Amino acid sequence: MINRITEPRPAPLAYSIRDALAAVGIGRSSLYSEIGAGRLKTFKIGSRTLIAAEDLESWLDSFRTPAALAAN
């Protein structure tokens, strides 16, 4: 038996569109709608569109209303 010690992977600094969809659990058109409306920021490296992890988290936090927070 091989004993492998694995170190935890660091949290991503940015997400591809595909990874953001998987992380958030919404549809592609909904995500692109939020980007198009300017509510979710993106940036490009070469031809690849990325979303900074902090921007994705801020966008998600914008949906947390005081009433929703009180229910938790």
Query: Residue ranges per domain, the chain?
Result: 14-71
In terms of DSSP H, where are the helices of 1-72?
17-24, 28-36, 53-61, 66-71
Strand-pair partners of 50: 16, 43
| 26-52 pLDDT tens trace | 999 999 999 999 999 999 999 999 999
- pTM, full prediction: 0.78
Q: Which residues contact 16 (CB under 8 A, 6 or more apart)?
A: 48, 49, 50, 51
Residue 9 has pLDDT above 90, yes or no: no
Quick one: how far is CA 26 from the chain centroid?
10
| Residue 29 DSSP label | H
CB contact at 8 A, 24 and 40: no
